[in-house]
Amino acid sequence: MRDWAAARTKRLEISGIRKMFELAKPGTINLGIGELDFEPIDEAKQALSKAVNEGHNGYGPTKGMPELRDSIAESLHINRKDVTRENVMITAGATQGLLVSAMALFDHGDEILIPDPGFVLYSPHAIMCGAFPVKYSLKQEHAFVPQPDEILELINTRTKAIILNTPNNPTSGVIDKDTIRAIRDIAIDHDLVIISDEVYDKIVYDGKHYSFLNGDYDNVVYINSFSKSFAMTGWRVGYMASSEELIKDLSKIQYYNIACPPTPLQYACQKAMEAPDNKIDERVNILRKRRDVIVDRINKIDGFTCLKPNGAFYAFPSFDHDILGMDFAMKLLEAGMICAPGSAFGSGGEGHLRFSYANTIENIEKGMDILEQVAGTIPMK
């Protein structure tokens, strides 16, 4: 039979994490999923059913509801005072924002700098647009912060964009102010677009989140989402901010991609933003306690080294055991816990495992018992 898949489809591989999830038995402790175990706040849930019942079920503007774009623009003033609704577009999750960015900006043959290890969408999106992902490293010895010198060395005349992600998935690394400035200066010198995925910006434990949107470089495409901060992964609402000019280009692609973001959900997200208590601080405090438990447990296991995440909700320890990450994760799965092998996020993630601590302390403790027991059966290098 004819193979109908286009060349670009054939070049894509199913995500390693999905493969793991499909193999899990019921009752398995899930420290694999990048999703908070919280609910959207009541005000947002009520606003959603109200919007549906009141008939806000039709198409809306391609760039999203003006009122929501206004609220988002205002929330971004901590980064840039001149952001208005004309700089903002609502998307179907950060996922679609990232795809729209790739489709609107990447040409065949362009080179796109992406983090390794890095979130699973960046490389496939570049490939789907005929561009080449070129990896820069995130290393534990540098607290998983990109090194401007390395980025500089990777740039050539074909380089079009740098994708950055802070706080980072899978490493939980947070990029400091000076590194942000240095990378922004490199982008300005080489006329590159910065695509900055900041979906974990509100989940920062100590200190403050620094954004690539901060400053006067207009060629920044800022990506964010309601998924993580507002515990609304299934609602599929995200947003992006950029120069008016780039937003016009991005909205052209958005129109031919999804016509408009989902209408009733935007009403609900608006309410979530306006709510007097969005519960984010309370939830970050819960996550902080879980982080402290998991990091402490992992560091007590022979051969493991785990940095304390300052953002997001992933522990990304290295291990000295003589085994590939995928095989290690499979052994853990057989013993009753799902985690993600670091290699699912790129070859730079080999030798690491990713544990999401978006789970109860009880389950985290049970998961760590399994890790301790399984790790004890694997010889060291």
Chain positions contacting ligand PLP, by CB under 6 A:
34, 93-95, 119, 165, 169, 197, 199, 225, 227, 233, 238
Q: 159 or 224, CB closer to ligand PLP?
A: 224
Give the shortest CB-100-to-ligand PLP separation in angstroms: 12
Closer CB to ligand PLP, residue 201 or residue 321? Answer: 201
Distance (Å) of CA 76 to CA 72, 182, 252, 329: 6, 22, 23, 39
**CA dihedral of residues 185, 190, 195, 201 (deg, nearest 10):** -10
Query: Of 115, 117, 193, 197, which is closest to residue 159 (Cα–Cα)?
Result: 193
Q: Which is nearer to ligand PLP, 140 or 233 (CB)?
A: 233
Between 48 and 301, name the residue whose CB sits nearer to ligand PLP: 48
Residue nearest to ligand PLP (CB): 93
CB 1 to ligand PLP: min, Å = 34
Minimum distance from CB of 150 to ligand PLP (Å)?
A: 20
> What's the closest the beta carbon of residue 313 comes to ligand PLP, in angstroms?
10
Least distance from C-beta 235 to ligand PLP, angstroms?
A: 9
Strand partners, 137: 116
Burial label, 381 (beta-carbon count in 10 A; 0-12, 13-18, 19+): exposed
DSSP bridge partners of 341: 353
261/325 with CB nearer ligand PLP: 261
Nearer to ligand PLP, 225 or 251 (CB): 225
- The residue assigned the tokens 């055991």 is 321
* Tokens standing for residue 96: 């679609």
Least Å from the CB of residue 176 to ligand PLP: 18
Nearest-approach distance from CB 314 to ligand PLP, in angstroms: 9
Q: 96 vs 321, which CB is nearer to ligand PLP? A: 96
Residue number with CB closer to ligand PLP (159 or 168): 168
Minimum CB separation from ligand PLP for residue 228, in Å?
A: 7
Nearby residues of 204 by Cβ (< 8 Å), 6 or more positions away: 167, 174, 284, 310, 311
**Biggest CA-to-CA distance, the chain:** 63
Identify residue 287 by its one-letter amino acid code: L
Tell me whether residue 198 or residue 301 sits nearer to ligand PLP (CB atom).
198
Cα-only R_g, the chain:
21
Q: Minimum CB separation from ligand PLP for residue 230, in Å?
A: 10
